[in-house]
Amino acid sequence: MRLMVRSLLSFGLAAAYQPALRAPCTSAAASSTVGAVLRRGGMRMMAVEAPSAEAAAPAAPAVPIKLPSNEDSDTLLKIRHTSAHVMAMAVQRLFGDTKVTIGPWIEKGFYYDFDRPEQFAEKDLRRIKKEMDKIIKMKLPLLREEIDKEEAERRIKEINEPYKLEILESIVARDPDAAITIYHIGDRWWDLCAGPHVEHTGMLPPDAIALESIAGAYWRGDETRPMLQRIYGTAWETKAQLEEHGRLVAEAKRRDHRLIGKALDLFSIQQEAGGGLVFWHPKGARVRKLIEDYWNKEHIKAGYEILYTPHMASLDLWKTSGHFDFYKDGMFDQMEVEGASYQLKPMNCPFHVLIYKDQMRSYRELPLRWAELGTVYRYERSGTLQGLFRVRGFTQDDAHIFCLPEQLSDEITDVLDLFETVLSRFGFSEYEVMLSTRPEKSVGSDEIWEKATDALKTALGNKQWSYSVDEGGGAFYGPKIDIKIKDAIGRMWQCSTVQCDFNLPDRFGLEYVAASGEREQPIMVHRAIFGSIERFFGVLTESTAGDFPFWLAPVQGRLLPVSDTFRPYCEEVAKAAKAAGLRIEVDPGGRSVGKQIKLANQAKVPVYAVIGEKEIEGRSLSLMARKDGGLVDLGTLPFEEAIDIMARASSEYVSAVDELLVGGHGDGGAPIDV
C-alpha cells in the first residue's frame, strides 16, 4: 500500500462537519477527488451496527423541509395561538377541577399553564389531544368581544378563575382605560386574550399538532407563588412539517451535551458543590486544553498579548466601572476583607483597563491588543441553569483592543478575520451576522458613534459578509457586531461578538499622548470568539454528537489486543504514540475483541486497531476509523508510519484521519494538492 499525506489546513474540518459552506472553499471537489483515490487504493467503507450507547440518527427527508417560523407566517402564529386555547378548553372539559392561567405561542408551538390538584400523566396528553381533535372537528368560530373591566371581573368571578382575575388586575394596572378583549370558542369556552386567532377551530390541522411534554412552572415565574403544570405542544401548518420537527427534536436529544458529557466522561456539575459550577474531567479537560492552546496560538499570531488577571477585586473598582450600579443583579454578593468589600469578577474589562492605565501611553504604542481566558462569576437563578449553556462560573475568551479612531476599521476587519479562522477550524463556517446601532439612551458624541458605526460597516464590507441591522439595538456604550454560528443540524447559536465602548475609557479617564502632544481618549473594543469556553464546548459537543475532530478527540486511538499475549506490543506502540504527542490508549483487556470494538465505538474513539499475530510479525497496525456512523478500513501499515501520520493529522488540525490516507503505500509520495 502507498500512503500520502494531504496538506489540508484549509478544509479538513469544514468538509467533515458542514453540509453547506459559505466560506470560500473547494471542499466539494476536493472530497470527491479524495474519495476516488480512496476507492482506487482499495479502502472499504463498512457498515457497522450503531453502537448501543448511542441511538441511531433519524433519517433526514429526501427533499429537505424548511420549517417556517412565527415571523415567516401569520397563519402559523394564529394556529399556535389558537391551539393553546383549544388545549386549555380540552383540559377543562376532561378535568373539571383545573384552573387556567396563561398560554402563549412560543418558538415551535405553544404552552398553557394549569393549576390542578392532581398531576398530569404522560398518558393524559393522548386524551387531551383526542379531545382537541373533537373540538377541531366541531369547527367552532373564534369570536372576539370587547368588554369593560367591571364586566370582565364579573364574568371571571362567575366562572371562578382566580388567575384570570390577577391577569385582569395587571392589565388594568398597566392601563386603567384599556379595553378588555376576550375570545370565545363558540359559546362553550372563553379566555382573556388580545388575539390573533384562526376564524374557526376547523382551520387547525389536527395532524400537524402534537402535545409534547409536561413541566412544572411557578405562577409568574415566582418561586413564592404556586407551582403550576405546564403542557407544551408543537403546532405546524402541515403534517410533513410536524414530522420534520419531530426528527430534529430526536436529533437534538441524541446530541444533548449533558448526556454525551456523561457518557464520554467529559465533565460534570455536582449538586454537592452547587449549581452552575463545572468540573472538567480528564477527558473533557484534554479537549479544553487543546482548544485553549489553539486559541492562544492564533491570538499570538494575530498580534495579541496574553494577560492574566485576578478573580476578584475591590468593590470600588466595580463602582468606578459602573457594573455595581447597572449589573448588580447579575453579580454575586460581596465579601468583606479587612473591612473592605471585595467582589468576584463578573467581567474582565476593568482589569484590562487598569493595566492600560498603569502607565502613560503614546499614540505610537497603539493599537494594544490584549487577550485573556478570564474566568468570571455571575449570579444566575438556579431555575435557569442548564448544563454548560447556562452556568455561574465560566471562562470568557475575552480580548480588548485600545486603538486610535482611525485604526478602528482595520482592527475590526482583523477581528472578523480571526473570528472566521478560529470558528471554521472547529467546523463552523456558516454565520448569521447582525450589526446593532445606537440606542435611544447612550453615552458618547454623535461624531464618535457615527465614526465607529461606519468602521464596523467598512469591516463587514471588507469581509463581504451579508448582515442584518438591528437599528437602535446596540449597547448604550457603543455599536456592535454579533455572530451566530450554524451547527451540524442547522441550529443557530449566539457565539462571537465585537463591541465598541465609549463608556469605560471615559469612566476610567483613559488617555494617550497624541502626535500633537495633546491628551486624547482611545477607543476601546471588547470582543470574544467563543463567548464562553463552557458554552462553546457544549455547542461543539452537540454539533459533533461527541465525534470530535481527530485533532481534538480526548482519546484519538485505541489498541485492542486479541489476547494478553499481544499486550507488550500494544504497550510499546502506545508509548511511541505518546512520545509523538498522540492520545492513544490500550484496552485494559479481559474481554473479547468484539466487546472491545463495541466499547471503542461507544467511546467514539476515532481510530482503533486490533492487535494479533499478524500485526506483531509485521510490526504493523491495521487501522479502522469511525466515519458517518460506519467504519472505514484504512489498511495496514508499519506502526512508526501510522504514528507519524496520526501525529501530523494532530498538528495540522485534521478532522478525520481517513482524509490523510490516500492511495497505496511505499513511495512516500507528495501531498495531494487540494
Q: Which residues are catalytically annotated?
A: 349, 378, 396, 398, 400, 480, 526
Q: How far apart are CA 627 and CA 133, in angstroms?
A: 44
Going by C-alpha positions, the residue among 322, 398, 339, 340 that lies closest to residue 331 is: 322
Whole-number minimum distance, CB 393 to Zn ion, in Å? 17
Beta-bridge mates of residue 493: 485
In order of 395, 409, 482, 497, 653, the CA distances from 416 in angstroms are 21, 11, 10, 9, 21
- To Zn ion, the closest distance from the beta carbon of 400 in angstroms equals 6
Distance CA 414, CA 433 (A): 16
Q: Which is nearer to Zn ion, 85 or 245 (CB)?
A: 85
For Zn ion, which is the closer residue by CB, 3 or 102? 102
* C-beta closer to Zn ion: residue 318 or 569: 318
Q: Toward Zn ion, which CB reaches closer, 230 or 627?
A: 230
Q: Provide, rounded to whole angstroms, the least separation between the CB of residue 499 and Zn ion.
A: 8
> In angstroms, rounded to a whole number, what is the distance separating the alpha carbons of residues 137 and 122?
24
Residue in 618, 629, 562 with CA at minimum distance from that of residue 595: 562
Q: How many CB atoms are closer than 10 A to CB 585?
A: 19
Q: How far is the CB of 332 from Zn ion (least distance, A)?
A: 19
CB of 19 vs Zn ion, minimal distance in Å = 35
Please, which residue, 81 or 604, has the CB nearer to Zn ion? Answer: 81
221 conformational bin, left if phi > 0, alpha if psi -120 to 50, beta if neither: left
**283 or 480: whose CB is closer to Zn ion?**
480
Q: How far is the CB of 498 from Zn ion (least distance, A)?
A: 10
d(CA 340, CA 210): 57
What is the nearest approach in angstroms of Zn ion to the Cβ of residue 278?
Answer: 22
Rounded distance, CA 244 to CA 229, Å? Answer: 27
CB of residue 183 to Zn ion, shortest distance in Å: 5
Strand stretches in 367-491, DSSP E: 368-377, 393-403, 431-436, 468-470, 480-486
- Residue closer to Zn ion by CB (options 30, 84) is 84
Site residues for Zn ion per CB under 5 A: 81, 193, 349, 526
CB 107 within 8 A of CB 69: yes
Q: 278: which residues sit within 8 A by CB, 6+ positions away?
A: 267, 268, 269, 388, 391, 393, 394, 534
- Rounded to 5°, angle at Cα 450 from 449 and 452: 65
Site of grid cell 450503531: 50
How many Cα neighbours within 13 Å face the side chain of 491?
17
User: Dihedral angle at the C-alpha atoms of 393, 397, 401, 406, nearest 10 degrees?
Assistant: -120
**Closest CB to Zn ion among 193 and 611?**
193
Pair 43, 663: CB distance under 8 Å:
no
**Residues counted in the chain:** 674
Please report how close the Cβ of residue 352 comes to Zn ion at its closest, in angstroms: 7
**Contact yes or no for 501/488 (Cβ under 8 A):** no
Nearer to Zn ion, 394 or 639 (CB): 394
Rounded to whole angstroms, how far apart are CA atoms 594 and 342? 58
d(CA 611, CA 623): 10
CA distance 374 to 189: 55
